[in-house]
Amino acid sequence: GDSVTQMEGPVTLSEEAFLTINCTYTATGYPSLFWYVQYPGEGLQLLLKATKADDKGSNKGFEATYRKETTSFHLEKGSVQVSDSAVYFCALTLNTGNQFYFGTGTSLTVIP
Amino acid sequence: NAGVTQTPKFQVLKTGQSMTLQCAQDMNHNSMYWYRQDPGMGLRLIYYSASEGTTDKGEVPNGYNVSRLNKREFSLRLESAAPSQTSVYFCASGTGGNSRRYEAFFGQGTRLTVV
């Protein structure tokens, strides 16, 4: 079935370090891919998305490229800040958009 | 910009009690969803509604019922709460239809504890 697998955490980085959170997917069709972020005590917020192969989503210094050949959508940021500490979820939806499939989430803590 | 509003934010129930979680969105979205979030499990879909008047089961529907009252409101009911339903519940709404423009927007969550 359709699913998302993402790198397990927690991840702890020093400020200004490079971040990669891996995400791979399995889908029967041609999904749209998303990264959501959840700050402590809050709901999920859309961070970025890509709707077709080779698209790059970007926002707030984060980037992810939709790689159909490797079925991946890895999240990267060149220099993390303390304010980036949160839980990050990779997700996909198929053409109908009627159901999201989420990964288990990766907790990121950035220390000064 | 209210977006998706859930009530209550916190709730403690005794085993066997019932309650309804309320959700309303003001973005004129057709699709609405209820998810539960558990440690190490990510978000799992309980029920969704693709449009007013329709509801469908998701991955974990047992023990829950839903009502799509109108286009704005989608409620989740626990008829007889069990400790296994202790979780954080999120309501979401989405643009639906053409997935190339699709986005989902989430409420702040309801933290439910069943003792």
A42: phi then psi, degrees, rounded to nearest 5: -120, 170
- Beta-bridge partner residues of A35: A48, A90
Read off the pLDDT of residues A53-89 as tens digits, 9 standing for 90 and up. Answer: 999 999 999 999 999 999 999 999 999 999 999 999 9
Quote the pLDDT of residue B10.
95
- The pLDDT score that the predictor gives to residue A42 is 87
What number is the average pLDDT over the span A2-21? 93
Nearest CA in chain A to B109: A43
Chain B residues in contact with A95 (beta carbon < 8 A) = 99
Residues in chain B predicted with pLDDT less than 70, given as ranges, are: 1, 96-101
The contact set of A with B (CB < 8 A) is 31-32, 36, 42-46, 49, 51-52, 89, 93-100, 102-105
Residue in the block written with tokens 């007889």: B80
Which residues are paired to B49 by β-bridges? B32
A31-55 pLDDT, tens per residue?
899 999 999 888 899 999 998 899 9
What's the pLDDT score for residue A7? Answer: 84
